[in-house]
Chain A
Amino acid sequence: MIELKNIEKYYANKGVKSYILRHVTTSIKEGEFVSIMGPSGAGKSTLLNILGMLEDPTYGEYEFMGENITSLNERKRIELYRNHIGFVFQAYHLIDEMTVAENIEAPLLYKKIGGSERKSRVADVLDRFNMVAKKDLFPNQLSGGQQQLVGIARALVAQPSIILADEPTGNLQSAQALQIMDLFKKLNEEEGITIVQVTHSEINAGYGSRILHLLDGVIKEDVATTV
């Protein structure tokens, strides 16, 4: 599903290049649950952003579902967002002016899905996440864990093939964190959704099937987890 070849990312400042990613080459297959780990400043988030096409690599090749991303135009990229990629952020990033239901519905609007199907899909997701009672609340009326659930629900509702999660439990208490990770695992196993997450926590990483260890922009280790 994802092929990275020799990805480099650096900032040039007064002739000095400061590297964030070096020689990153890896591939992620459909149905995998990959955790990217490493100390602060190792380039984890940058790597995830490159995967999510939010940032361009300075050098290297990136293929997403057989398409070369480096030469992709804006319109194609938006198409990918609409149909294949779901984002989950550490700070949830819900839209403050929209209710829970509206936040979840938004991706479907952009995907131009008909009204009745939208309604049923949103109802479905709300039901599944046990949030029917909260559907008319605004994000600031929810706890962090609940907000992140909405964030995941929003990522899922468009039925993406991959979820990219940047420290999804970073702002949550451990009990809520476990709940989210259980959810990810279930989605991965039962629905076959590919998941790539960035995390600091060994425990969270343990939920996945594979761990990429990053240090100073280089992949130091690429191991499969054993449950």
Chain B
Amino acid sequence: MFKLNLKIAFRNLWRNKTASFINVIGLAIGLASCLMLLLYVSYEWNFDKHFKEAGQVYQVMTNFKDANGKINGTGDVTGNVIAGAIKEEIPGVEAISRLGYGGQSLIANGSSSFKKEAKFADPDLLKIYNYEFIAGNPGTALNDPKSVVLTERMAKLLFPDGDALNQSVRYDDKTDLKVSGVIRDLPSNTSNRFDFLMPWSFYETLFDWVKDPSWTNFNWQTLVKLDKHVDLNLVNLKMKGMMELHQKDTRAESFLYPLSEKHLYGKFENGKGVGGDVERIYLFAGLALGILLIACVNFMNMATAKSEKRAKEVGIKKTIGAGRGSLIAQFFLEAMLLTMIGVLAAIAMLELLLPTFNNLLHIQLSASVLNGGYWVWILLIVLITGLLSGIYPALYLSSFDPIQTLKKKAVRAKAVPMSLRQVLVVGQFCFALLLIIATLVIYKQLSFIKNRPLGYDTNLLVEMPQDGLLQGKYELLRTNLLKSGAITSMCQSSMSISNEGSSFWNFEWPGMADQDKQIVFNQIATTYNFIKTNGIKLIQGRDFSRNFASDTAGVLLSSSAVKIMNLKDPLGAKVKYHGQDAVVIGVFKDFIWGSPFYSDRPMVVAYSKNWNGVVTMRLNPANSLSQNIDLIKTVTKNINPAYPVEVKFVNELYAHKLQAENTLGVLSNLFGGLSIFVSCLGLFGLAAYSAEQRTKEFGVRKVLGASMLNLMQLLSLSFMKMIFISVVISIPLGYYLMGKWLLKFEFHTTISWWIIGIAAIGTLFIALLTVSFQAYKSARANPVDALKYE
């Protein structure tokens, strides 16, 4: 029986090629989206969970409070002494380690040197993470201050043809370290990634500020592994007063948060978790399931539209003794078969498109074909999809009464619930239209933000890290670069102009009120030519200049800073910056430093020779780009030979800020396009079927003198009505939802009528094109062909 049903199912698929094609393509697209979603979710879900006993690992988080004791921020940073305190005061701590960020640091093996991600940690980190050691002893790897643990990739890079263990590498062109271990590469869904890991004891020898015990220098992370029987709530109760106990006047308190939840639920408001990246999963799930649902609806619609054909078969089978169960089973089998074919196509699609998709979303998914769990999920999806798309046709078709279907002119009109089909089509197009409106609004918002005046000139602006000797020999570098003609101006600063990096409070100025101490300012430290190099607009005063010796104690204020400080005459005002006396020498127009969607804090640009980190240069427009870059590389390498030269374009760095919204735009564009495509496939199938059914009617009408246009209208109108209803439903809905989305941003565009117009007219046009193709075909047919039967 099963074999026969399978055979019949195949023959049915073959006989109705258009319908099968539409169903398979639709299902394949829907399933591919779902499989993609599955990979994505499992990638995100397993963030920080891939090592042993990951559930017992916690991150020490800190809540920051304002003067009134209200929590106004939560972060994963701590001082460097809380680890010791927790170890002593909290029972059940199995391991605890501080984690220091080394950034992109130089690591060299005699001949070749690389800049790679570095981290510093206590030896306990190896107990927390259970790294898989390829070489070396995890128990002792970080005990010696002059040791380093490499990842497998790093080890291969440094020692391409040999054993890395016990070899010597040079860190930061200063210190020789012995390789004490090589571990397997960390999966990309790990929060604390590094290429090489060095002992905290070594870290302390590098910087005094690391060595000085501090509760409030929030520069590091702390990871804890607790015994599995420990109650987190009790621990956190004890943690609550810990900081204030040790350090009077702090306005912060720490608590433990599961490390594995940090990635997806890393957003805090008022000290309480309020979701986070998990929203991206919800969004993606909604989109993928939506597409799959559209494909299932296509299947249902095609199956029920064909019901007249199938009804006869059902009737006959019932008279020769088929029970309803066996008929339902047969129709399910057909749905499953189609889904299976769809899933095969989907897997092929997935393999093909995954790299592109990874690029779009900046993640690293891989379809692990060998993974048994993956196949179980696929099977589950096939089953659910088959059930979803098969259940309605199976129940509906198997319910036919034999006598109605076998009598020649069966009362079909009543038996087919046209209205449900219409509702489903309307639903499909509503979903598609919503996505199209969303896409248009997101892109409009992006272009709005891109057009916001930056406040500095990114054109021909490049920067590079101020590594190694570039700090001491900055003046030499400047002279040589200017002489080479590669640049017209340059400055050093504490951080990049492209991205917000530092803030402070307790700024003092004449006439301030007491609570003004709480105002948080952004800060950049620089030396000369900051304004000139970056192309920032000066409103009053001047840039830092060598001509004024007193400028070394000067600050520049942003115009919003002047406003909030309420300075009538800012130039020459005497302020206290980090307790040091300083004089305001200039006021510049605000520029975008943080998120371009929101306004920045007021800003102070101060003079400091020692707080440096980034060299910003304006390229010489007289030369070509590559010429300039080559010159910069040569000159820099001469001065600072140990380090590779990394020149970055500031406009590219700036573009990263729009990444999340860009991704959203790409996703809604992709899924919007797909859903319109799959919906139109379904519409095409329905129109084809309707045209086939009305061949005779068309023939009669043609004989009676109907023109081709009359006939095309006849067929198209009934379909266009449904699309029109979808437009009417989805436009106010889209307007409302996207309006709400826009309100999330301080700077946002408005939804203009042309967006609605394009979405509505575009959809109507595409749908019309789809339907009229069929209408044209059947209107063109020779009426004799239609009428000669019977």
Query: When the two chains form their complex, are residues A78 and B323 in contact, meaning their CB atoms are under 8 A apart?
Result: yes
CB neighbors of A among B284-330 (8 A): 312-313, 315-324, 326
CB neighbors of B among A58-103 (8 A): 74-75, 78, 81-82, 87, 89, 91, 93-98, 102
A57 to chain B, nearest CB (A): 13
Answer whether residue B85 sits at the interface, using C-beta atoms and an 8 A cutoff: no
- Segment of A47-55, A126-134, A197-205 in the binding face: A47-55
Query: When the two chains form their complex, are residues B317 and A95 in contact, meaning their CB atoms are under 8 A apart?
Result: yes
Q: Which among A52, A95, A158 is the interface contact of B321 at CB below 8 angstroms?
A: A158
B692 to chain A, nearest CB (A): 16
Q: Write the chain B residue with the least CB distance to A49.
A: B403
Answer whether residue A154 sits at the interface, using C-beta atoms and an 8 A cutoff: yes
Interface size on B, as a range, is 20 to 34
Answer whether residue A208 sits at the interface, using C-beta atoms and an 8 A cutoff: no
- Segment of B4-12, B70-78, B545-553, B597-605 in the binding face: B4-12
Listed residue (A75, A81, A105) with the most chain B CB atoms within 10 angstroms of its CB: A81
Answer whether residue A109 sits at the interface, using C-beta atoms and an 8 A cutoff: yes
Q: Which among B4, B15, B402 is the interface contact of A109 at CB below 8 angstroms?
A: B4
Query: When the two chains form their complex, are residues B406 and A93 in contact, meaning their CB atoms are under 8 A apart?
Result: yes
Query: When the two chains form their complex, are residues A54 and B402 in contact, meaning their CB atoms are under 8 A apart?
Result: yes
Query: In the complex, A180 Cα to B44 Cα: how many Å?
Result: 71
Query: When the two chains form their complex, are residues A81 and B320 in contact, meaning their CB atoms are under 8 A apart?
Result: yes
Query: In the complex, A52 Cα to B319 Cα: how many Å?
Result: 9
Query: When the two chains form their complex, are residues B320 and A110 in contact, meaning their CB atoms are under 8 A apart?
Result: yes
Given A55-B403, A98-B8: A93 and B315 interface contact (C-beta under 8 Å): yes
Query: When the two chains form their complex, are residues A97 and B1 in contact, meaning their CB atoms are under 8 A apart?
Result: no
Main secondary structure of the interface of B (DSSP, over half): helix
Query: In the complex, A204 Cα to B197 Cα: how many Å?
Result: 99
Q: Which among A54, A55, A75, A106 is the interface contact of B323 at CB below 8 angstroms?
A: A75
Query: In the complex, A102 Cα to B4 Cα: how many Å?
Result: 8
Query: When the two chains form their complex, are residues A111 and B321 in contact, meaning their CB atoms are under 8 A apart?
Result: yes
Answer whether residue B483 sits at the interface, using C-beta atoms and an 8 A cutoff: no
Chain A contacts of B12 at CB under 8 A?
97
Q: Write the chain B residue with the least CB distance to A80.
A: B321
Given A93-B312, A97-B11, A97-B15: A81 and B408 interface contact (C-beta under 8 Å): no
Q: Which among A54, A81, A93, A110 is the interface contact of B326 at CB below 8 angstroms?
A: A110
Chain B contacts of A158 at CB under 8 A?
320-321
Q: Write the chain B residue with the least CB distance to A110.
A: B321
Answer whether residue A107 sits at the interface, using C-beta atoms and an 8 A cutoff: yes
Query: In the complex, A96 Cα to B14 Cα: how many Å?
Result: 13
Query: In the complex, A106 Cα to B4 Cα: how many Å?
Result: 9
Q: Write the chain B residue with the least CB distance to A109.
A: B1
Chain A contacts of B321 at CB under 8 A?
78, 81-82, 107, 110-111, 158
Q: Which among B313, B322, B324 is the interface contact of A97 at CB below 8 angstroms?
A: B313
Query: When the two chains form their complex, are residues A89 and B320 in contact, meaning their CB atoms are under 8 A apart?
Result: no
Given A91-B408, A93-B312: A106 and B403 interface contact (C-beta under 8 Å): no
Listed residue (A52, A93, A111) with the most chain B CB atoms within 10 angstroms of its CB: A93
Q: Write the chain A residue with the least CB distance to B10.
A: A97
Query: In the complex, A91 Cα to B790 Cα: how many Å?
Result: 13
Chain A contacts of B8 at CB under 8 A?
95, 97-98
Chain B contacts of A109 at CB under 8 A?
1, 4
Chain B contacts of A91 at CB under 8 A?
406, 408
Query: In the complex, A158 Cα to B319 Cα: how many Å?
Result: 12
Chain B contacts of A78 at CB under 8 A?
318, 321-323
Proximity bits, B686-717, A CB within 8 Å = 1, else 0: 00000000000000000000000000000000
Q: What 4 new A-B contacts, CB under 8 Å, besides A82-B321, A95-B317, A98-B8?
A: A78-B318, A82-B320, A102-B7, A110-B321
Closest 5 CB pairs of A and B: A82-B321, A110-B321, A54-B403, A81-B321, A107-B320
- 10 A-B residue pairs with CB within 8 Å: A81-B320, A82-B321, A87-B319, A93-B312, A93-B406, A94-B316, A95-B317, A97-B8, A97-B313, A154-B320
By a beta-carbon cutoff of 8 Å, the part of chain A in contact with chain B is 49, 52, 54-55, 74-75, 78, 81-82, 87, 89, 91, 93-98, 102, 105-107, 109-111, 154, 158
By a beta-carbon cutoff of 8 Å, the part of chain B in contact with chain A is 1, 4, 7-8, 11-12, 15, 312-313, 315-324, 326, 402-403, 406, 408
